[in-house]
Structures are given as structure tokens and as C-alpha cells.
Amino acid sequence: MTLLSIQHIQKTYQLADKQTLPVLNDITATFDAGEFVSIVGESGGGKSTLMNIIAGLDSQYTGDVIVNERPLRKMSERQLDQYRRENIGFIFQSFNSISHLTVLENVLVSLEMTSLPHKQQVARAMSLLKQVGLSSRSKAYPRQLSGGQKQRVAIARALASDPEIIIADEPTGALDEQNTQEILHLLDQIAASGKLVIAVTHSQIVADHGTRVIHLNHGQLVHDQTLRQVAGSKRAASALPTRKLSFRATFQMALKHMQRNFGTNLLITLGGAVGIFSVVLMLALGRGVGGYIRHEISGNLNPTTVEVTHKVKDGNTAAIQMSSHDITKLSGISHVTRVEKGYFMPSVQLQYHGRNVTTSYSQTYNKTFLSKNLTHGKNPTGLNEIMLSQDIAKKYTKDAQNLLGKNVTLYVNVTDAHQKPALLKQRVKVVGLTKSSNTAVMSWQTLAHTAQAQGINLKPTFLAVTVAKLSQVKAFQSQVKKANYNLTGVGSYIDTINQYVNLASYVLAGIAAISLLVSAIMIIVVLYISVGTRTKEIGILRALGVRKGDIRSLFVSEALILGILYSVIGLLLAEGLALIINSSAQSFIHFNIVQVAPEFVLFALVTGIIISLIAAWAPARKAAKLDPVEALSYE
């Protein structure tokens, strides 16, 4: 049984402008295990082309290549990958080592696709390197090696998976005589061990060394000469069974490439991190600002309490009074927890030490009053207590606080239940001072009791209605309006405020989305360009039998690592800045204005990774689609 047979191989390159270049013309030959065949011929004669065809790298030819009775033409792409992994060891004309991998790692690429356990892979790689005399340079990078040393790395790699056929394209082309002899000796040993060695050469020394010489001339096989008989074609044991590149190996390769291309990856990481950082920061700021505004509203005003009055037509003062019927009606609305009576006073007169001061519009105390505005003392919740605005107090004394605890006489013009005007008079104690201007505030009870004592029946002119939660205010308000009442107080415009707050966070989120988009595009571009610079590496991997899918995984792994990296860095930056902003914000607004919520962290991580995967998709596809022969000849 012949190991390898090539039958009527014809190859024509299609050049640009529909021109064609015939290179191989009807080449037929058979080869057996144990042979060391030299192929000689003029430069440009098609030797490398023929080797690519035998190695299953090039499928654009007519005729057939039959290995162990299996025609390559019938093989699927995956079977061809497997064929390259298991049956072929290729020593390229240009050494084709992967520059960012060490000598050992270069040899390991082939072994990582075998079923050997990792430890044995390393052991075998080391023993192969020892065989080619490079065990001391296993940690060196290809650029640190001489031409002959690189050639020997290529030989060690070609032997790694113990293939039946070793193809060596100019294995000694760059070597001096001493090195040539060493390599030839190696190839001799390989052939003697029961493998087929096909070596392309211009060197007479090499040609003389083999067991057979084939001459190619103008694309034709012109001479096939056996130099010495192969002693009994004993077949070597079958090659190491192989599999696709393991995930671990792919991931490690990706990691190594990233380490060695630190600059590019730093750029991508920074770009991505800035994108993630700004998204998180904007979202957190939106949340913080919204929270701050709501905090301010509910901390200083009381949006859950609303003042309710009748809708009054001009001048009809009778209609202004709230009856017990109104109280029952309002108490019945859902979510209402409390209804307080209140009274509007066009003016209030105060007398202290014989001096009169008149306030402008005032009203009785209720829950809508801003606790923030109380500067001294307490709210006038008790009977016969009064709270004055600072400006009113200052009309009596230079230091408003002097008035606290003092008794003043209060005069209020009211209308009784029958629309009759009356003047209420009461001694009250100043218990609090407020920032608001030109006002005096006392409780409804104070007013009502005073009226009662003077035989006047006083009806409230508004009701302060409280609901349990801020979220219920809106529903409550529409109910009140439906019942044909009027609303005043902060609670009545809380909804508008909420809209503005939401608008602000949408705008911030929009800015964030744009910055994320920009960094996503940048990442895509950088990854896409990086495929271009790695064309050769991809060609080498494909030639070694790495499948398209594995090439794709390689790029996806890199993108994934980058995605996780920049997302985490972006998050850390955002958290860091949040800490700084918040600590300085605390000193003047007493609030964490940047709030990084756990869902933002999750969102950032997921988005970052998704972007990196999207960014990897096109380059990974492009890389996997590269034609191995073209990729290999890429400069």
C-alpha cells in the first residue's frame, strides 16, 4: 500500500484581469513510508505550490491527492483540518513561527491539539526541542533566534503530533553547512523511523542526501530518480490522535497574545473603560440628582399633604366654608390618613407693649408648613401659641429671638358661619420664628377656641388632607379634582417635578449611551485592525490544523477577556469618582449625589461583555474565513 499518491495534478493560478498562470501540469507520483524525497527545480517552478496541495492547504487544483487510500478531494473542511493536524508535519520555506509565542509554546500549539495530557505535551515538546538541539532556548521568542534555530523550531513543531508525512520546504535554505548537516541528519532519522519526508531544495547536498530525487521543470515532472533503496518500508506507528484545540489552550493563547500586544489592548481597555465609566456615572448621577430633588421636596416641604378648598366664584364668600360634609367626603377618598381644619386670614394684627404690627396674608398651621423654615423655637401646634416670621418679630425688637416666650395680643378679622364679620382677640405666646415673610401662624384650635369664647361659630375655609405615600398623591389629587375641589400646596405640583427629574435622568442616560456607542465603535475598529496584523499567525494556525471555529474562539476569547477587563476597570473608576464627588457633596448638600446602584453594576458588566462580543464578531469571522495559503504568504 502506498502512503501517498498524487495523480495528474494540475494547478493554474488565477491572476487579476482574468489572466491565468499555469504552474503545475499533470504531476503524477507515488511515495512510501521511509522515503526521503528531494524535490528540485527552478525558482518559481511550482514546488511550494505542490507542497501546499499535498498538505491539504490548497484545494484549487485538478487531479487528486490520495493518502492511505483516502482522496483529499472527498474530505470535508473539518476532515482536511484533521488531516493537517494528524498526517502532515509542515516545515515552511519561511519559518512561520508565531512571534508572540516562545519556542516551547510554538511547538506546543501542535501538541495542544493532541489527546495527550498537558504535562505529557510539555514533556514531548521539550524532548523534541532537545532532539533539534534547542532545549536551552525553549523560553526564547522567535525573533531572538538565528535562522537555523528558527528552522529547527519549525522541525520540532512539524514532528510534534508524530505525523506520517513531513513536508519540508527549503529546510536548509538559510543554513550554513554545519547546520545543514545537522538538519539533514535529523530528517534522515525521521525517514528511517518509518515516515515519509518530502524536502524541497535547491541544495545539491540535500538532494544527494535523500533516497530519491524528483525534478520539476516548467510545471512538469521531468525526472524521478531513486538514489538508494529504502530498507523495507516499515510503517511507523500511527500518529497521535488529535482533537480540536481545547478551550483552555485557546484561552491561554488569547491571553498570551494580549500580554504581548500590551499597547493595543491597553488602548481598547481604556476606551471600553471610559465608555462603561461614563454610563455608570451618568446613571448614578441621574439617580442621585433625582433622589436629591425628591429628598429636598419631602424633607423640607410636605408633598403628601395638600390643601383643599372649594372652587369659589368671585366674591361668594359663603361658598368658601368647608362643612363637616366636606370632611367626611375627603376622609372617604382612598389613601387619606388625616384631614385637618384650616383658616385663611387676609391679615393678622399683633399688639406688643402697646405697639401694633399687621401681617399680610396668613393661615393656620398645618402639615404643609416647611419645617426647614422654622429657625427658632417650635411650630405653634399648642393652644394659644403663635409663630412669627422673623421680619415681623424684628419690628418689635432688634434680635427676633428676644420675642420667644413673650405674650402678644392677637387680633384676627373673621366671618362667622352666617357671613357676619367679627374680630377675634386673644393673648398668645410666641413659640417659634420662621424664615418666611410677613406672617403669623397659629393653630386652628387657637382660632376656633377664641371664636367659641366670644360666641362666634367659626367654620374652616380649607382642609389640609394628608395621604400615606408620595406615590399615592397623584391618584388622590385626581379624585379630589373629580369631586370638584381646588388644590393648593406643594403636593399639587409634585407630579411635574417628578417629570423634570425623569427627564434629567433620561438626558444623562442618553449622554451615557452615546459615549458607550463611541467606545464600542472604537473597540470594533481596533479589533478589526488587529486581525489584519495577525493574518500570518492565523495562516500558521490553520496550516497546523487549527479549525476555523477555533480561530473564531481565539478572537472571541480575547474580546471576552478585554470586555471583562474594561468593564471592571470602568466600574472601579466610576465607584472611585462617586466616592470623591459624594464626599465633597456631603459637605454642602449633605446628600450622596452619585448613587451607583447594584443594578447599574450588573448592567455595566453585561453591556461591556456584550459590546466586546459584538466587536469580536466581525473580526473573528474575518479571521476564520482567511485562506490559509494566502494568510501564510501575507507579509
Ligand X SMILES: Nc1ncnc2c1ncn2[C@@H]1O[C@H](COP(=O)(O)OP(=O)(O)OP(=O)(O)O)[C@@H](O)[C@H]1O
Does the footprint of ligand X cover residue 46 (CB under 6 A)? yes
Question: Using CB distances below 5 to 8 A depending on partner kind, what does residue 237 bind out of Mg ion, ligand X, none?
Answer: none
Does the footprint of ligand X cover residue 44 (CB under 6 A)? yes
Provide the 3-class DSSP secondary structure of residue 614.
helix
Residue 379: how many CA atoms within 13 Å on its side-chain side? Answer: 13
Does the footprint of ligand X cover residue 47 (CB under 6 A)? yes
Does the footprint of Mg ion cover residue 567 (CB under 5 A)? no
Give the shortest CB-626-to-ligand X separation in angstroms.
13
Does the footprint of Mg ion cover residue 201 (CB under 5 A)? no
Q: How far apart are CA 99 and CA 520, in angstroms?
A: 28
Give the shortest CB-107-to-ligand X separation in angstroms.
25
Does the footprint of ligand X cover residue 345 (CB under 6 A)? no
Helix then strand then coil, % of the chain, to nearest 5: 50, 20, 30
Q: How far apart are CA 577 and CA 600, in angstroms?
A: 15
Cell numbers at residue 603, please?
Answer: 448592567
Q: How far apart are CA 83 and CA 65, in angstroms?
A: 12
Give the shortest CB-146-to-ligand X separation in angstroms.
21
* Sites for ligand X among residues 537-556 (CB under 6 A): none
Does the footprint of ligand X cover residue 222 (CB under 6 A)? no
Q: Quick one: which segment of 15-23, 266-274, 486-494, 558-566 binds ligand X (CB under 6 A)?
A: 15-23
β-strand 196-200 against 36-41: which pairing, if any?
A: parallel
Q: How far apart are CA 59 and CA 80, in angstroms?
A: 10
Does the footprint of ligand X cover residue 45 (CB under 6 A)? yes
Which among 109, 110, 102, 162 is positioned nearest to 134, based on CA atoms? 102
45 vs 377, which CB is nearer to ligand X? 45
Cell numbers at residue 95, please?
Answer: 519559518
Which residue's C-alpha cell is 550554513?
Answer: 176
Does the footprint of Mg ion cover residue 172 (CB under 5 A)? no
Q: How many other CB atoms are there within 10 angstroms of residue 591's CB atom?
A: 17
Query: Bridge-partner residues for 66, per DSSP?
Result: 5, 71
- Under 8 Å CB-to-CB from 197, ≥6 apart: which residues? 35, 36, 37, 166, 168, 187, 190, 191, 210
Q: Quick one: which segment of 40-48, 108-116, 125-133, 419-427 binds ligand X (CB under 6 A)?
A: 40-48
Q: How far apart are CA 340 and CA 158, in angstroms?
A: 93
Q: How far apart are CA 615 and CA 605, in angstroms?
A: 15
Write out the DSSP string of 503-515: HHHHHHHHHHHHH
34 vs 41, which CB is nearer to ligand X? 41
**Among positions 3, 33, 35, 49, the unique one binding ligand X when judged by CB under 6 A:** 49
Give the shortest CB-279-to-ligand X separation in angstroms.
46
Specify whether the CB–CB gap between 274 and 282 falls below 8 A. no
21 vs 529, which CB is nearer to ligand X? 21
Cell numbers at residue 554, please?
Answer: 481565539
**Among positions 13, 247, 361, 500, the unique one binding ligand X when judged by CB under 6 A:** 13
* Sites for ligand X among residues 70-109 (CB under 6 A): 93
**Among positions 1, 17, 19, 43, the unique one binding ligand X when judged by CB under 6 A:** 43
**Among positions 5, 38, 48, 446, the unique one binding Mg ion when judged by CB under 5 A:** 48
Does the footprint of ligand X cover residue 20 (CB under 6 A)? no
Give the shortest CB-52-to-ligand X separation in angstroms.
8
Alpha helices per DSSP H over 23-146: 47-54, 77-86, 103-111, 118-131
220 vs 479, which CB is nearer to ligand X? 220
Question: Using CB distances below 5 to 8 A depending on partner kind, what does residue 342 bind out of Mg ion, ligand X, none?
Answer: none
Number of residues that bind Mg ion (CB under 5 A): 2
Does the footprint of ligand X cover residue 532 (CB under 6 A)? no
* Sites for Mg ion among residues 86-115 (CB under 5 A): 93
Does the footprint of Mg ion cover residue 203 (CB under 5 A)? no
Contact residues for Mg ion, defined by CB under 5 A:
48, 93
Contact residues for ligand X, defined by CB under 6 A:
13, 15, 21, 23, 41, 43-49, 93
